[in-house]
Amino acid sequence: MAKKYERIADALRQSIRAGQLKPGDRLPAETALAEQYKTSVPTMRDALGELLAEGLIDKRHGVGNFVREPRPRVERSNQRHQWEKNRARLLESERLKTGSTEHDTGLTVSDLAFKATYREVKADEDLAAVFSVPVGTRLLEREYRTFPREGDAPFSLVCSHLLYSAVSSNPDLLDASNEPWPGGTQNQLLTVGIELDRIVERITARPPTAEEAEELGLQKGVSVFVLRKISIDTGDRVVEVSDVIMPGDVTELVFTTPLDRW
């Protein structure tokens, strides 16, 4: 026999899909639901936990459980990289018009809030291995947050590392107040004579840390994508390592692989 909380979760899913419960609707209180389904509150909470992990409902402490508005998925395509490379050499007036997040989401610049912080750090074992440099090498660490609107949760948490020695010849690159930089990282690299040859992305999924869940506004049970983007220049040198955390429930990654012709 199926587990009780699964049967209840199924019944609720059914109600949502059939439209008896519409996006934005508040569900009855958990005590009321428990009574309705002839079960205890903890079992009811197990059932709601399934819907929560699937992103079908939002729990709001002290307020109630709500059917979630079908949030538009944020699409992140690897074609953004070539797009960014092309854009990096445009005139500044062109580069100012739009950034990568707009490219992904279709939103316009004015809808977005942006935050960047820079820091100088030393390479730990992990980063040293990827950059092929000694542990302790100076790196420029840059954290980015892009918000759909002020007050909302960010789309992603980005932590980028650059080889300090590679970028310090242009002091503007060391100052976070120049962000958002028109033309993005590839334009920044262009100012110190670096051209990218290829980008390697490694993707895993795992439960968020408590801090990540907090910052991204994730419900319990939702996993995150961890994407490590490694930028390699025309001299086969790793010049940037960027770690991106994205909510698994609303993100779609798209990769196009062209094949050589026969």
Partner DNA sequence: GAGTGGTCTAGACCACTGT
Partner DNA sequence: CAGTGGTCTAGACCACTCC
Binding site for a copy of itself (CB under 8 A): 6, 42, 50, 53-55, 73, 78, 81-82, 85, 89, 195-207, 210, 221, 223-225, 234, 248-249, 251-262
Q: Nearer Cβ to a copy of itself, position 112 or 246?
A: 246
In sequence order, the 6+-apart residues with CB closer than 8 A to the CB of 50 are 5, 6, 9, 221
| Residue 43 is a binding residue for DNA (CB under 7 A) | yes
| Residue 151 is a binding residue for DNA (CB under 7 A) | no
Instruction: Work out what residue 60 binds among DNA, a copy of itself, none; the CB cut-off runs from 5 to 8 Å by kind.
Output: DNA
* Measured distance CA(181)–CA(160) in Å, rounded: 14
In 68-210, beta strands by DSSP E: 74-77, 113-122, 138-147, 157-163, 196-206
Name the segment binding DNA (CB under 7 A); options: 14-22, 42-50, 91-99, 171-179. 42-50
Are 250 and 73 in contact by the 8 Å Cβ rule? The answer is yes
User: C-beta of 90: minimal distance to a copy of itself in Å?
Assistant: 12
User: C-beta of 58: minimal distance to a copy of itself in Å?
Assistant: 16
* Measured distance CA(52)–CA(48) in Å, rounded: 6
**What letter does residue 26 receive in the DSSP assignment?**
B
Are 176 and 116 in contact by the 8 Å Cβ rule? The answer is yes
How many residues form the binding site for DNA (CB under 7 A)? 23
Are 225 and 48 in contact by the 8 Å Cβ rule? The answer is no
User: C-beta of 164: minimal distance to a copy of itself in Å?
Assistant: 24
Q: Which residues in this chain contact DNA in the complex, by CB under 7 A?
A: 3-5, 27, 29-32, 38-43, 45-46, 59-65
